[in-house]
Amino acid sequence: MIKPSEAQIQGQVALALAEDIGTGDLTASLSNESERVRATLICREDAVACGRDWIDAVFEALDPSVQIDWRCQDGEDLKAGQIWCVINGSARAVLSGERTALNFAQLLASTATATRTLVRHLHGTNAQLLDTRKTVPGLRLAQKYAVQCGGGSNHRLGLYDGILIKENHIRSAGSIAAALTAAQTHVGTVDLIEVEVETLDELSQALDAGARRIMLDNFSVSDMRTAVEHNQGRAKLEASGNVNAQTIREIALTGVDFISCGEITKNVSAVDLSLLFDQPET
């Protein structure tokens, strides 16, 4: 499974904490330095859990004595009102880390939840949901991990591990055939060489040039069906554009192999989470 390393997660958390706390948490300093609390992280809506390692890293960085009792693992469904974890530790550490922990949890759980929503529409088809490079800067691996937690799969990680020949690349090279010929020098060093086409004529050009993976960019459903029929299994076909919960199943039923969707990582609608201190005994 693609996932940031422990060091990468710690680095992401360090940047986020530095941004939020700066020279010190003035409000948390109002609490007694020796006070310890029990706080409960609750999910207020149905969601997919994701972000445990980031939450752990937040409180580890602030106070290694903080203990977290996890009730749900990454990739598991959370029901509205369900406890995700219980945190015991220094009041100051919990107060200072609350927003950063929730920011990471909301981003990653939202990505995982959006992914699972679409994946459920693919049951009974052969299509596979892919993410894109439309991710939050600096958190790409984190979001791609969240996509996997939601049941999706990852497209290339960046510009370094695969080739996706798009419209401007084709214009620069002169033709689809010329661009694919140039890409052949990377055969054996990358797993993905793909060309994007915008018309059925361009699909024919790509197939004639020997393309083995083709992205159908903003094709109508009717044209997708025609493309699948014309392809006759020669290349793997990926549909892209106008993918959402209302359209994805119809797209999948055309027979394409992959469906890529940027919405699951770039249009994040934060999952409703709350971190509440237990009421002190009186």
- As assigned by CATH, the class of the 6-113+268-277 domain is alpha beta
Note the pLDDT of residue 68: 98
H helical segments located in 22-90: 52-62
Structure tokens at 21: 């706390």
Q: pLDDT confidence of 268, banded at 50, 70, 90?
A: confident
Closest of 61, 100, 102, 107 to residue 85, by C-alpha: 102
Note the pLDDT of residue 98: 97
142 within 8 A of 112, measured Cβ to Cβ: no
Q: pLDDT confidence of 282, banded at 50, 70, 90?
A: very low
**Percent of the chain predicted with pLDDT > 90:** 95
Taking the C-alpha atoms of residue 114 and residue 82, their distance in angstroms, rounded to an integer, is 19
CATH number for the region 119-266 comes to 3.20.20.70
Q: pLDDT confidence of 280, banded at 50, 70, 90?
A: low
**pLDDT(1) > 90:** no
Q: Pick the range with the lowest mean pLDDT from 39-43, 139-143, 163-167, 267-271.
A: 267-271
Given the structure tokens 């209302």, which residue do they identify? Answer: 246
Note the pLDDT of residue 279: 64
Task: List phi, psi (to 5°) of 76.
Answer: -90, 150
Q: What is the DSSP letter of 29?
A: G
Structure tokens at 110: 């939202």
Cα Rg for the chain, rounded, in angstroms?
A: 23
The one-letter code for the residue type at 224 is M
* Cβ partners under 8 Å of residue 41, min gap 6: 55, 83, 84, 85, 86, 87, 105, 273, 274, 275
Domain boundaries, the chain: 6-113+268-277, 119-266
Rounded mean pLDDT, 26-30: 94
Taking the C-alpha atoms of residue 157 and residue 70, their distance in angstroms, rounded to an integer, is 30
86 within 8 A of 40, measured Cβ to Cβ: yes
Given the structure tokens 């997660």, which residue do they identify? Answer: 9
Active site residues: 99, 134, 166, 196, 217
Q: What is the largest CA-CA distance in the chain?
A: 79
Residues across the chain: 282
Given the structure tokens 């406890």, which residue do they identify? Answer: 83
Rounded mean pLDDT, 130-152: 97
- Residue-wise pLDDT tens digits, 196-223: 999 999 999 999 999 999 999 999 999 9
What predicted TM-score, i.e. pTM, was given to this entire model? 0.94
